Every structure is written in structure tokens, then in C-alpha cells.
Amino acid sequence: MAPAILLAFIIGYFLVLILISWLTSRKSSDNDTFFVANRNSKWYLVAFGMIGTALSGVTFISVPGKVGAPTGDQFAYFQFVLGNAVGFILIATVLLPLYYRLKLTSIYSYIETALGTWSYKTAAGIFLISRTIGSAFRLYLVVIVLQKFIFDNYHIPFAVTVLICLVLIWSYTFKGGLKTIIITDSLQTLFLVSSVFLSIFFICRSLHLNVFEAAETIKNSSYSKIFFWNDFLSSKLHFTKQFLGGLFITIAMVGLDQDLMQKNLSCKNIGEAQKNMFSFTAVFVVINIFFLSVGALLYIYAAKNSISVSKTDYLYPTIALNYLGVLPAIVFMLGLTAATFATTDSALTALTTSFCIDFLNFNKKENTNSKQMVSLRHWVHIGFSVLLFLTIIIFNSINNDAVVSAIFKVASYTYGPLLGLYSFGLFVKNRQVQDKLVPFICLVSPLVCYFLSTSSKKLLGGYVFDNELIIVNGLITFFGLLLTSHRKSLQTTV
């Protein structure tokens, strides 16, 4: 596949996004537009666009790749997806009504009322750190693919590739913010979903299978096992671990994450926001079935054509870009680009929003839409773009996949304390936390969990943690808050 053709399509793709940005922000580019899209978003656009945000470029590459991993994953990821689905329903029925009742722009403002200022700043800080590292990590993995298959051919340095990607994202988000992203993410989700279905079509055609024959082939293959019930202690694939991990990770990393919730808060009312979440959940489950099906078909195709790769993450791009032809290659690259940038543009907007509201107190100013405040928001937006650039360059300079993955894993642990903070605020009404101790408790909890993840075999009789570790993380924070809290006075409680 000629790199020039791929590059031409990506340039054209971004020109379309920039055009959409101009059309959506030409009448209004104030802070209300940027932060919450004037609370006038159509629920069905939000629901469809959230698919692209929830399914990052890492998911696009890694989920199909894991199907045939040496660890025997097969379709085990679907157990995690089922947990996700229940988590989305709980978010729609418990957290969204709370956010709408309080008319929040930043969801962390709730913590200030429930627990105190230090707790509030800690929750917002956790999001800023975790989302910066997480978004940088996801973009980094995809930039590596772009570098390998396109930009290396033009001898463009990695740092320049990263800079190009971030400048493009900044260019179509800095004015319209969330209002633009609601539209661009819908377009990017269309590319993402189309690429999955078209990939299945192209692979089936290469294998001379129709849809029904492909389904039967997948069912009879060695890749189709979904539910794992054996070896509860030592297997990370056990249904209980995967389902509970999916459930609580969704609550923490979606329901308590400014990025995903900001889109929901742009709907007109709670009813439309809930319709968005329920419809999004249904589509999310179905699209993941197709991602897993792509993985099975890729491994069947690879076995038939004696294709081998050094890493499972390279399987999908290698086959799509080198074996299936020009059109499948373009479809794959557009899908990968859409998945990546739908996640990154949304994160950049959410980071800017959280910092402006939670640390610069935009919501407490008399006129948040003044020229001075809009200008300040522009500078914050540039600042986070630079921060993402520097973080990705650091990841690349480490040049060790295991170390970079460990950094991302530690960052993901920090969502556990958010579970503890929100649980305490929601369910413990008669006690007051020691507000200044909260940052310390939220720091200790993920460190303890990282120790458990590396030592549980010895300490817990062979038990191996997977995603369900986030439950332990939340519980450590919750009980830390409980132990250091004191009973509220009757006057305060009333």
C-alpha cells in the first residue's frame, strides 16, 4: 500500500473535520459553547459519537489482536463488555440524575459540596493526571503505527509526527469545543463502525466465505470461547474478575470521568441524557462483538496465508495494509484514525474544561463568556496540547513497552480513589472527612493496589488480580476516609 495514498486520505479527512469546526463555531465560540455546547445537543448524536470516544485506537487494534493471544483470551473480552453494559446502566440511573439535579459543568464540583475543597481539588487533579497520561498513551500507540506505515517513508521524525497530529486536533477543537466534537465524533464513529464492517467483508471475501459461513467458521474455530469459569484464583480470564472489573471500571472511568460525562451534560435534560446512555450501551455491546469477530477472522486468515507478527497488536494493521488491497488499507487507516482522534479531541476538551472550572473557577465568575475568559481558555487548551506532546515524547524516549504500559496502568489505578470519594459522598451523610488528609489517602490507595497486583500470588495463596482490582482500590479509599472522618454535628447534618 503506497504511503502517499494513505497520507492523502488522512489529509482529506482532517480537512473535513476543520470544515465542520468552522461551520459549528462561526456563530458562537464562547465558553458555554466550548464547555457544554449550550446544553442543546441532540441525544442521538451524543450517543452515536460516544461510541468513537469509548473505543480508542488501542481498542481498535488490541481487541482483535487479543483474540489469538498466547494467553488464550479468545472472546473473553466480551465478559468485560457485559460488565461495561451494566456499569453504563448504573451511570444512567444513579449518577446522571445527580449531575443534572446540581446543574454541573464539571462533575467534580459535586465533591466540593459533599466532602470539601481539598477533596474536590484532589478528585479534579486525579482526572487531569490520569486522563493526560491515558490519552497520551493511546495516541502514542497509534502514532507508532502511522510512523511505521506512512511517515517513516518520508523520513519525518517521530516528534514531528506527534506534533502534526496534535496541531490538527487543536485546530478543529479550540473554538467550538464540545459543540464541534459532538458533530465530529459522530462522523468519526461512522468511519470507525464502517471500517469494522468493511474489514469483515474484505476478510470474508479473501477467505471465500459469505456472512453465514464466516459466522460458522468463527464458531467452530479455536478462538470463539466467551465464558471462562475455571481457575478462579490464578486466571485473569475468569468471568467474575472480567465482569466485575468491567462494571466498576465503567463506573469509575466513564461515570466519574469528565470526558465522557461532559457529552451527556450537553443534552437538554435528564430524559434525553438517559436515552443517550441506554442506546449507546446497546450499540457498544454489538460493536464489540464485531471487533472480536474481526480478530477471529484475522487469525484464520493469517494461519491460511502463513502470516506471523512479533506482537498481537501488529496483526490487524499488517494484514489490512499489506495483504488485502488498496481499499481495505484505506478503510483500516481511516477507522484507526477516527478511533484515535475521537478519543483524543474529546479528552483535550475535557481537560481544558476541568482545569478552567475546577482550578481557575470559571463557574464562579460573573461573566464566563467575556473576551478575557475566552482568551484564558484558549491558553489552557494550548497548554494541555503541549503537555500531551511532551508526555508522548517521554513515552517514546523510554523506548520500553513494558515501562510505558506500567505507567499507563498506574495512571488507571488513580480512578479507584474516585470510586471511594463519590461512594463516601453519596452513601455516608452523617460523617465529615478530614479534608486535608484526603490527598494523602488517594495517593496511598493506588500505591497499595500496585503492590497487590505484583505480589498477590504470594500474599493471597495464588490469587491473581485483573481489572477487579479497582474495587479494592475504591474500598481502600472509602475506608481510609471513614476511619479518618468524624461525626457531623446535628446542626451540620440537618
Q: What are the backbone dihedrals phi and psi of residue 143, each rounded to the nearest 5 degrees, phi first?
A: -60, -35
- DSSP for 58-90, please give it: HHHHHHHHHTT-TT--TTTHHHHHHHHHHHHHH
Would you tell me how many other CB atoms lie within 10 Å of the CB of residue 94?
13
User: CA 153 to CA 296: how far, in whole Å?
Assistant: 31
Q: What is residue 69's predicted lDDT score, i.e. its pLDDT?
A: 85
Is the separation of the CB atoms in 258 and 353 below 8 Å? Answer: yes
User: CA 29 to CA 37: how far, in whole Å?
Assistant: 10
Residue 419 burial by Cβ neighbours in a 10 Å radius (0-12, 13-18, 19+) = buried
Which residue is listed with cell 443534552?
267
User: CA 414 to CA 404: how far, in whole Å?
Assistant: 16
User: CA 139 to CA 153: how far, in whole Å?
Assistant: 20
Q: What is residue 408's predicted lDDT score, i.e. its pLDDT?
A: 62
Q: Give the residue from 151, 205, 195, 225 showing the smallest Cα distance to 57.
A: 195
| Torsion angle of C-alpha atoms 4, 7, 11, 17, degrees rounded to 10 | 150
Q: What is residue 403's predicted lDDT score, i.e. its pLDDT?
A: 56
- DSSP for 340-399, please give it: HHHHHHHHHHHHHHHHHHHTS-GGGSS-TTSHHHHHHHHHHHHHHHHHHHHHHHHHHHH-
Is the separation of the CB atoms in 9 and 334 below 8 Å? Answer: yes
Using CA of residue 224, residue 229, residue 234, residue 236, what is the dihedral sign? Answer: positive
Cα angle for residues 63, 67, 71 (degrees, 5° grid): 110
- For residues 280-316, one letter each, b for 16 or more C-beta atoms within 10 angstroms of the residue's C-beta and e for the rest, the string is bbebbeebbeebbbbbbbbbbbbeeeeeeeeebbbbb
Q: What is residue 177's predicted lDDT score, i.e. its pLDDT?
A: 78
pLDDT along the chain (494 residues), means of 10: 75 83 76 76 81 72 86 90 95 92 89 93 92 85 80 89 89 80 81 84 90 91 91 89 91 86 86 91 91 92 88 84 82 77 81 90 80 89 94 83 62 85 92 94 92 87 87 94 86 47
User: CA 494 to CA 491: how far, in whole Å?
Assistant: 5
pTM of the model: 0.85
User: CA 249 to CA 253: how far, in whole Å?
Assistant: 6
Beta-carbon contacts of residue 202 (< 8 Å; ≥ 6 apart): 324, 325, 327, 328, 331
Q: What is residue 404's predicted lDDT score, i.e. its pLDDT?
A: 55
Q: What is residue 494's predicted lDDT score, i.e. its pLDDT?
A: 38
